[in-house]
Structure 1
Amino acid sequence: MDSPKLPPHDGAVVCVVDMHTGGEPLRIIVSGYPEVLGATILDKRRYTQEHLDHLRKLLMFEPRGHYDMYGALLTQSEIAEADFGVLFMHNEGYSTMCGHAVIALGRFAVDYGLVKNPTSPETQINIHCPCGLVKAFVEYSNGKTGAVRFQSVPAFVFSTDVKVTVPGYGEITVDISYGGALYAFVNAERFGINVSKSRTRDLVDVATAVTNAVKSQVKLHHPVSEDLAFLYGTILTDGKDAFSDEPSTNICVFADAQVDRSPTGSGVTARIALQYHKGLIPLNQTRSFKSGTTGAVFTGKAVQETVCGNFKAVIVEVGGHAFYSGVASFTLENEDTLKNGFLLR
């Protein structure tokens, strides 16, 4: 059977390429969006929040997506060295950084001709994320793309040993670190759960409780922009922070209790910054991090010291693999009362 033609529909058709990195989905929007206005990438993020959020819901929510869907909208960048800009979207809104998406977008950019004349053994892709410029390096040989590594924006520790009161658990100590987005880190064993064996629902409930506690009790800030000064989520770890050749396992719960299937690229960035800050790893020592949900592994290492405002920071390199899962053209009918999407909670 030939590919089916578009069904009866009203309005624009939105076309996407779907990928996943370590099991975490990425829906890359390739056509059908109106122009995103704004002089800077953060302006474009705000414009999309204020004027185009119905399209996020259309693509992320059911029936076209699901509670844990993730998306990327390519846009123009004001930075001359950037190959393109990107806005990230999820069940709650718009992130400032997404490592699993950068890994997937690296392959996509080469395979779909967003960069001219790719080079072997690696092709560099400069991706302007809302948090800043991220440099991705895509394995490329004989016309085929492979693994991707990226170098982060300056990653830093916001604060360590922060005490917050979590309902049902009392006083909990967390670390807060930035890897393009701010995360709270805490050992899952403090709550009597295991990141690899416990029910996902139990992990989500704990992580969400920690996130809510930090948001309500800790004043966050960022030296570059207040648009970056928000807690994206909580990462529960197995507590194995001292260096080991064995992967350390974690699970990230972000946005509105959304579960990352991958080890979380920006989370690995923030966790490497935290371990470097604590003297647990030196520069250029590679660690492996495993997803508690899929078992997928990312690598990470601090490659350079730098600063971000008054914070001592590091550039972190994260590596992983992304794969294609399909393409789709999404339509809607005006008579459909559920056309704009819905979520089951």
Structure 2
Amino acid sequence: MQPELKLQLMDTHAGGDVSRIVTGGIRPLPGATVRAQMEYLRDEADGLRRLLLEEPYGIPEMSVDLLVPPTDPKAVAGYIIMEVMGYPIYSGSNTMCTATAVLESGIVAKQEGWQSFMLEAPAGLVHIDAFVRDGVVEAITCGGLPSYIDTYQASIHVPDVGNVNYSVAYSGGFYALVDATSLGFALTLDEERRLSDCAYRIVEAIRAERRFSHYTLGDVGPLPFLHFMGPVEQLADNSYRSRSTTYVHPGVICRSTTGTGTSARLALMNHEGKIRPGDRLETVSLRETGFIGEFTGVRQEGPHQVVENTITGRSFVLNRADIVVNCDDPMVECAGLKHILTSAHPE
């Protein structure tokens, strides 16, 4: 008999974005770093991502995070992020969900009040501060990637949309930042489909015209993301709020405002001289969920002012389950997957 093939999962969400945390069922991956293991998964075992984000197991709006042993002794766990567009090296909402799963699964014992630990993302070490009350994880603060403005106030003509002004930030991926009000959007839930269609047209127009290069990573591919920005409201001397929404893939608008989108906003506000270190921006989604980005510092990297920041939010556990992988199911493609399952015979 063929052994039963299965994965252990913990489904979570942060701000509405669902992250499936793979907690067991995958063999150790080759690679001296989590980044190298991510590249192996991408190039040799993409079946795991496709299995959990496509029918019949998942939908493109979800994300998957595979827990792996850390390669840096400072970290308690490593994690590889998988989304419909591929393998981002960092994500704020996925980091919040992974940190919560690490606590809920007992990899890190919960302590009342604030506690700190490190995770290892493909982008490198990430500092985590977690707040626990009565055994419940109520907040996760994670270090956002250093963010900067690549392009400020460019303009492009977009078919069926018109002339669009945009800036481009890097915050773990390149983001086009677009003022929502200028295009007639109030960033409410009933606009979700129109926001997705509009963002797709803008991103495709920018992709056809230019590419972007990171100052250390080089060419990281075509522009992937667009972040619609609502008006900024000042709540107090160092506190701001803005409605926001992020487009990540044709037909996919994130349910949260995204951590990297919030980091990109901080970079833009710093570039425009509108915030100072210690200031906070709460981004509010179409579903009225929010993340809080804090501008913690700035440094000069060549021509760029690079913004250091943290992102705070909350992740909720939705489900703990075993997924049975039936390779006889005509809707299941086991190529690129079976060789990394612990329950499969070595090939």
Flag whether TM exceeds 0.5 (same fold): yes
Farther-moved stretch of structure 1 (65-74 vs 187-196) = 187-196
Measured against aligned partners, the alpha-carbon deviations of 1:200-241 in whole angstroms (never above 9, x if no partner) come to 211101111122222222221112323755533101122x14
1:138 aligns with 2:130: yes
Q: Which amino acid aligns with 1:130?
A: P
2:329 maps to 336
> Where in structure 2 are the equivalents of 1:224-243 lying within 5 Å?
224-226=216-218, 228=220, 230-238=222-230, 240-241=231-232, 243=234
Measured against aligned partners, the alpha-carbon deviations of 1:245-286 in whole angstroms (never above 9, x if no partner) come to 563111111034422111111110111111112111111112
3-state DSSP of counterpart to 1:174: strand
3-state DSSP of counterpart to 2:51: helix
2:169 maps to 177
Measured against aligned partners, the alpha-carbon deviations of 1:293-323 in whole angstroms (never above 9, x if no partner) come to x110111120112345542212111111111
Q: TM-score, normalised by structure 2?
A: 0.88
Q: TM-score, normalised by structure 1?
A: 0.88
- 1:228/1:142 Cα in 2 relative to 1: closer, same or farther (>3 Å)? farther
> Where in structure 2 are the equivalents of 1:1-345 lying within 5 Å?
11-115=4-108, 118-226=110-218, 228=220, 230-238=222-230, 240-241=231-232, 243-244=234-235, 247-292=241-286, 294-308=287-301, 310-340=303-333
Structure 1 CA distance for aligned equivalents of residues 147 and 34 of structure 2:
19
Q: Which amino acid aligns with 2:194?
A: D
Q: Which amino acid aligns with 1:302?
A: F
Structure 2 CA distance for aligned equivalents of residues 41 and 216 of structure 1:
32
Farther-moved stretch of structure 1 (71-80 vs 129-138) = 71-80
Does the 8 Å CA contact 1:288/1:298 hold for their aligned counterparts? yes
Q: Kindly tell me the number of residue pairs found equivalent between the two proteins.
A: 331
Tell me how large the CA RMSD over aligned residues is: 2.3
Structure 2 CA distance for aligned equivalents of residues 241 and 147 of structure 1:
24
Q: Which has the higher strand share?
A: 2
Q: Which amino acid aligns with 1:262?
A: S
3-state DSSP of counterpart to 1:68: coil
Q: Which amino acid aligns with 1:337?
A: P
Structure 2 CA distance for aligned equivalents of residues 205 and 318 of structure 1:
28
Does the 8 Å CA contact 1:154/1:307 hold for their aligned counterparts? no
Q: Which amino acid aligns with 1:268?
A: T
Structure 2 CA distance for aligned equivalents of residues 9 and 57 of structure 1:
22
Farther-moved stretch of structure 1 (84-93 vs 222-231) = 222-231
Alignment gaps of 5+ in structure 2 = 335-347
Does the 8 Å CA contact 1:182/1:229 hold for their aligned counterparts? no
3-state DSSP of counterpart to 1:13: strand
Does the 8 Å CA contact 2:299/2:306 hold for their aligned counterparts? yes
Q: Which amino acid aligns with 1:232?
A: P
Does the 8 Å CA contact 1:223/1:310 hold for their aligned counterparts? no
Structure 2 CA distance for aligned equivalents of residues 262 and 227 of structure 1:
27
Q: Which amino acid aligns with 2:8?
A: C
- 1:230/1:45 Cα in 2 relative to 1: closer, same or farther (>3 Å)? farther
Measured against aligned partners, the alpha-carbon deviations of 1:105-151 in whole angstroms (never above 9, x if no partner) come to 222222222235x5542111212222332211100345442211112
Deviation at 1:33, TM superposition (A): 1.9
Identity of aligned residues (%): 23
Q: Which amino acid aligns with 2:249?
A: A
Deviation at 1:19, TM superposition (A): 0.6
Structure 1 CA distance for aligned equivalents of residues 293 and 39 of structure 2:
31
Moved over 6 A (4+): none
Farther-moved stretch of structure 1 (35-44 vs 15-24) = 35-44
Q: Which amino acid aligns with 2:265?
A: R
Measured against aligned partners, the alpha-carbon deviations of 1:150-203 in whole angstroms (never above 9, x if no partner) come to 122211111111222322223321111122222111012333333115432111
Does the 8 Å CA contact 1:10/1:334 hold for their aligned counterparts? no
Structure 1 CA distance for aligned equivalents of residues 37 and 274 of structure 2:
38
Structure 2 CA distance for aligned equivalents of residues 53 and 141 of structure 1:
38
Alignment gaps of 5+ in structure 1 = 1-7
Q: Which amino acid aligns with 2:46?
A: D
3-state DSSP of counterpart to 1:247: strand
Does the 8 Å CA contact 2:232/2:241 hold for their aligned counterparts? no
